[in-house]
A and B are shown apart, each in its own frame.
Chain A
């Protein structure tokens, strides 16, 4: 038995796992290690789900000048427990004409695939469950499995609304997966690796006290915004929540699910949102690293979850602000705006890579020139695209003849 080094706040969770592992008999050490990691991921992100649901309901309420839930416990903080009890005790109804096996499997596949994505997310220093060389690739491959589960649910329910919802979901997810992956390709190009841990390591360095986060570059900023828009669509969140548009198709692909299976769909949706936000943090926001060197003493996992909560807050904010898109607007936005913009982000990243860091012996001049050129590579197409897509249509103030 080897002695462990004294635990630090940064490595406390790793230390606890190592301590548990060295106190188990040798044949079971691998098993205990795996169980520890899996249990930690499931417990932490499931509780984050509960917290987010509460925050979302409270936040949306405040955005709409309401109180939000405030009945269960002080300030309604026990609302998630009440919701859990409710969904667990509700009757589980399966339509008689449904494909029972597929109908049963769909939520399980969805939740399983959503949780698998966390395998490659570095949620702290030395805290990646599986440090794959092709981590980003693995993430997107697993992300595509959720589309399968969504269509399983939509098809097996034998309901026109669920099928419509599933078709919308597939169309949307396939369309937005393209800009999602293309915007992360820029990062992969610059970092020169597909490993998520290595990408974070590249960003966890400091020059003049400021970290090398990719979001601090013009292509990184644009890429991050495009990535988050595509991520919103990928996780079917408002304003891209057409697959479950209540006003047209009631609940979309999970219309025929009730009780705990419905709760699983709900859980999977949020788990996917956390996962894709986590990837956004890993790729653009420096993962677990701190933005300034004087803040580096704060434990790495606090940085990761802090950034995650900020992104969740932005998701809630956007949900409380924007109305749902129409299907043609959604598709036009994906193929006519997102796709060209991500291509220009890749171009800009290439320009950034090959422009010299110093011009005429001056690092400052080099940085300014690099910034300007890369920003122009993105801004010019942006302005042109925005003008073109407007299509010469003049938006006038609409006059309501009968209302008012």
Chain B
């Protein structure tokens, strides 16, 4: 009524003013380029492609199945399938993407591509400093820019990565066991077929498993 509310307000702002010089926890601003907040594990910006091992081309998990391309709501993914094949982590011969582009200016970070990918090949990145001076090409990311190692994935999303790695190790072991079983069965079949080989040897040899289906060691794939 007599203006005492104004005095109270002035006292409050004065307390803020002087307090901000004394108490450090009053100033909550993070001085961004020098200091940064720790990003939460669930942070997601735009997708990236995972590869295993040191070589981003040989280890790329993507098999160019194009499910993500078809599922992407804003249609920001463009994939061109390769003509040849290369073995994946379990040794199966697979196609690989000759071209894999994501237009991050179109991407809406919905993570649907990650959810539909059956090969754990695409994941969400937490990189947000993506400004570019090139307005048209600068935000169109090619395979080279999208490929990031599994170590990087482990670093930015540890829980998710551990879960994926565990599953993939199990899958690889199962595939190896299966391959070993298949090989053993084939050997047994071969051994069983051996006595009759004298009768029609040329035909029996043709029925043996093709070496391409074996869990062969990775052979270098030319790009």
**Chain B positions within 8 Å of A387 at CB level:** 1
A295 located at the interface, meaning its Cβ lies under 8 Å from any Cβ of chain B in the complex = no
* Stretch in A23-31, A279-287, A315-323 with 4+ CB within 8 Å of B: A315-323
**Chain B positions within 8 Å of A318 at CB level:** 10
Chain A, interface size category, equals: 10 to 19
What are 8 pairs between A and B in contact, CB < 8 Å?
A62-B16, A62-B21, A64-B16, A66-B27, A67-B31, A320-B13, A383-B2, A386-B2
B38 located at the interface, meaning its Cβ lies under 8 Å from any Cβ of chain A in the complex = no
B220 located at the interface, meaning its Cβ lies under 8 Å from any Cβ of chain A in the complex = no
A63 located at the interface, meaning its Cβ lies under 8 Å from any Cβ of chain B in the complex = yes
CA distance A62 to B14 in the complex (A): 9
Q: When the two chains form their complex, are residues A317 and B13 in contact, meaning their CB atoms are under 8 A apart?
A: yes
CA distance A317 to B13 in the complex (A): 7
- Which of A59, A62, A317, A382 is B10 in contact with, Cβ under 8 Å? A317
A329 located at the interface, meaning its Cβ lies under 8 Å from any Cβ of chain B in the complex = no
CA distance A67 to B28 in the complex (A): 9
- Which of A62, A63, A64, A386 is B1 in contact with, Cβ under 8 Å? A386
- Which of B2, B13, B31 is A321 in contact with, Cβ under 8 Å? B13
CA distance A386 to B5 in the complex (A): 13
Query: Which one of A70, A320, A321 has the greatest number of beta carbons of chain B within 10 Å?
Result: A321
Q: When the two chains form their complex, are residues B13 and A65 in contact, meaning their CB atoms are under 8 A apart?
A: no
Min CB distance, B48 to chain A, in Å?
32
Q: When the two chains form their complex, are residues A321 and B10 in contact, meaning their CB atoms are under 8 A apart?
A: yes
Q: When the two chains form their complex, are residues A65 and B10 in contact, meaning their CB atoms are under 8 A apart?
A: no
CA distance A383 to B1 in the complex (A): 9
**Chain B positions within 8 Å of A396 at CB level:** none
CA distance A382 to B1 in the complex (A): 10
Chain B, interface size category, equals: 10 to 19
Min CB distance, A379 to chain B, in Å?
10
**Binary interface encoding of chain B residues 1-37 relative to chain A, with 1 for a CB under 8 A from any of its CBs, else 0:** 1110010011011101101110000111101000000
CA distance A390 to B3 in the complex (A): 12
Min CB distance, B2 to chain A, in Å?
5
Q: Which A residues are closer than 8 A to B by beta carbons?
A: 59, 62-67, 70, 317-318, 320-322, 382-383, 386-387, 390
Min CB distance, A381 to chain B, in Å?
12
Q: When the two chains form their complex, are residues B2 and A65 in contact, meaning their CB atoms are under 8 A apart?
A: no
Q: When the two chains form their complex, are residues B9 and A62 in contact, meaning their CB atoms are under 8 A apart?
A: no
Given contacts A65-B16, A320-B17, A382-B2, 20 further A-B contacts (CB under 8 A): A59-B17, A62-B16, A62-B21, A63-B13, A63-B16, A64-B16, A65-B19, A65-B27, A65-B28, A66-B20, A66-B27, A67-B27, A67-B31, A317-B13, A317-B14, A317-B17, A321-B9, A322-B6, A386-B1, A386-B2
Beyond A67-B27, A67-B29, A321-B13, is A62–B20 a contact (Cβ under 8 Å)? yes
CA distance A322 to B3 in the complex (A): 12
CA distance A67 to B20 in the complex (A): 9
A387's nearest neighbour on chain B, judged by CB, is B1
**Chain B positions within 8 Å of A65 at CB level:** 16, 19-20, 26-28
**Chain A positions within 8 Å of B21 at CB level:** 62
**Chain B positions within 8 Å of A67 at CB level:** 27, 29, 31
CA distance A205 to B19 in the complex (A): 39
Min CB distance, A266 to chain B, in Å?
23
